[in-house]
Amino acid sequence: MNTRQRGKLGEDTAVDYLEKKGYRILQRNYRFDRGEIDIVAEDQGQLVFIEVKARRSTLYGEPEEAVTEAKCKQLWKVAEGYLHEHNLEDSNYRFDVVAIEYQNNVPVIRHLIDAF
């Protein structure tokens, strides 16, 4: 399995998890300029921009630790593009992180709501 396939598997796992929690998925892999938001969803009327990080081991840290300050800044810019393109500048929104750690091929999911 290559990196792109592993990334898609992580995002598919996150989408399944979020849908079971009642989130409505609006878009996946939204691209603006040079950035991308993995999942755009709605949760109880609130717009949610979601970054997914999945790891097979914690050798290089927990998955959510990969959401650095620079990554957060990039996600803000991409979210602003989404809001502008969809005429949602006045919307209430937040950023979540779904961290997935595969332990013996079983996903352990941590959902950080309003992560930054």
Taking only the tens place, the pLDDT of each residue in 78-116 is: 999 999 999 999 999 999 999 999 988 899 999 999 999
For the entire predicted model, the pTM comes to 0.93
Q: 45-79 pLDDT, tens per residue?
A: 999 999 999 998 888 899 999 999 999 999 999 99
Q: What domains can you pick out in the chain, each with its CATH number? A: 3-112 (3.40.1350.10)
Give the list of residues 6+ apart from residue 91 with CB closer than 8 angstroms, or none. 47, 83
